[in-house]
Amino acid sequence: MSGPGESMVARAILDGSDRILSADPPIELLHIRAGGDSSDRLAVAPIARIARLARRLGVAVSRRVVVADDEGDLDLWVQARPETGQIRLSVSGWRDRAAWKPRATPPDYATAGADFRWETDAALRLTFLSPEAGLHHGIDAAALLGRPLSALFAFDTGEAGLFNEAAPLDGRGARLVPTDAAVRLSAAVRHDGMGGIAGLIGATYLVDPEGGDEDPAAMLGDPPLTESFTAGLDRALRTPLARIVANADSIAARADGPIAADYAEYASDIAHAGRHLLGLVDNLVELQAVEQPDFTLPAMPMDLADVARRAAGLLAVRADAAGVRVRRPDPAETMPATGDFGRSLQILINLIGNALRYSPEGGEVVIGVTREEEWALVRVTDQGKGIAPEDQRRIFEKFERVDPSEPGGNGLGLYIARRLARAMGGDLSVESVPGEGATFTFGLRAQ
């Protein structure tokens, strides 16, 4: 990794309450991604901690930190210098870390249509439950993790034969212990680096009760998240997760003294996973709002070309790091529209960020604005691998991604973006040919 002096420096000034008085676009983007707005204190916790330390000590403080940015992490070097009631921040480094994902990659076995997925260790203790288990089936995933598989599934003949390598649990019937619902299971054996058995990776399918006339999917439905659920989730998870991330970062950075390299790497993995979960909590809270039947957004006059330019500017550091050129609307170009400025910026940051993620090094992302009849449109075009026709509708659904094995998010970004666009009276769509990139079109009513 290069030293902090060898990369771009972004600067910001904070007042005595850690509110941003001015900030270069890279710091502003981190603040926005962390949930802040123009009236908030700096929302990027690791940087804010350094600013507070410098204010308390009355001297300049420089530290290396790791912060969450979209679905990945950034290595940064932060200097905070107190000056007459203010703090001057200088942030350099800007090195991307790969997005966290489990080290064991699931084998290739069919999970299409599964109601939820799960994993165990070699002792058949649950190590993972997909979000659908809690969101739609009333299962307390946090309480089950670390417990035996039998705490989730009741088998008629016990657990014998679960490690049949040919087809473990293939088509096997069981009942969900928390709800007594009938299910059918499918699973594959996961192997460790030495070829030994490391556990199971499975899928669960709810079974229609015998003699029932209703479609199970219709009975289960896809209800909106309730406000009480997401508020409780936010309160229950945010503080402990933030503490886990902070402590894991401290261990990985060897702040309290030297430790073995493998322990530092393990702590780094914990911090990455914690940030991934914090991002999921943020998206679930957002999801609760956009899925309310009466959710709408104000339709105020704005310049959609200006919003596009701002979104591209906020992502300039990421584009430079990825070696991708971004062509934004000309400074003199305007596109009057009606909508919510902040939400439109959020949508375009999502679209441009996705385009950068899937564009090859040396490629180009083109952002163009046009008017078609009563619509003001922004088109974001990349030179990535494209999206197959059968996937183009699926990517706008909850928890769906084209290739779940790739580093990325939790499958909520495009779903939320489309709901936001439609809440402003607009829409979000995609056109793509495999191998030829993709074009996402965000449209609002023209002014």
Lowest mean pLDDT among 51-60, 213-222, 266-275, 303-312: 213-222
Closest alpha carbon to 6 in 107, 77, 87:
77
pLDDT, position 412: 79
Residue appearing with tokens 């402990």 = 240
Q: Which of 33-42, 225-234, 305-314, 403-412 has the highest mean pLDDT?
A: 305-314
Q: Which of 197-206, 415-424, 438-447 has the highest mean pLDDT?
A: 438-447
Identify whether the C-beta of residue 68 lies closer than 8 Å to the C-beta of residue 46.
no
Is 222 exposed, middle or buried, given 0-12, 13-18 or 19+ CB atoms closer than 10 A?
Answer: exposed
Q: Which residue has the higher pLDDT, 391 or 191?
A: 391
Q: Which of 30-44, 117-131, 326-340, 408-422 has the highest mean pLDDT?
A: 326-340
Give pLDDT tens digits for 211-237: 444 443 333 344 555 554 555 555 556
> What stretch of H or E contains 172?
strand 172-176
Mean pLDDT computed over 103-117: 56
Mean pLDDT computed over 91-110: 58
pLDDT, position 446: 95
* % of the chain beyond a pLDDT of 90: 25
Q: What is the 3-state secondary structure (H, E, C) of 343-371?
A: HHHHHHHHHHHHHHHHCCCCCEEEEEEEE
Give pLDDT tens digits for 365-404: 999 999 999 999 999 999 999 999 888 988 898 777 766 6
What's the predicted TM-score (pTM) here?
Answer: 0.54
Mean pLDDT computed over 121-126: 82
pLDDT, position 348: 94
Lowest mean pLDDT among 71-85, 193-207, 271-285, 287-301: 271-285
Residue appearing with tokens 């385009």 = 355
Mean pLDDT computed over 83-96: 88
* % of the chain beyond a pLDDT of 70: 74
Helix (H, G, I), strand (E, B) or coil at 58: coil
Spatial separation of the C-alpha atoms in residues 53 and 45, rounded to whole Å = 12
b/e map of 247-263 (b: 16 or more CB within 10 Å)?
ebbebbbeeeeeeeeee
Mean pLDDT computed over 69-73: 66
Give the contacts of 323 (CB within 8 A, at least 6 positions apart).
361, 362
Mean pLDDT computed over 249-269: 75
pLDDT at 290 over 80: no
pLDDT, position 404: 61
Mean pLDDT computed over 49-54: 89
pLDDT, position 320: 87
pLDDT at 43 over 90: no
At 81, the pLDDT band (50, 70, 90 cuts) reads: very high
pLDDT at 300 over 80: yes
Lowest mean pLDDT among 126-135, 139-148, 236-245: 236-245
pLDDT at 287 over 80: no
Closest alpha carbon to 208 in 177, 178, 173:
173
Average pLDDT across the chain, whole number: 78
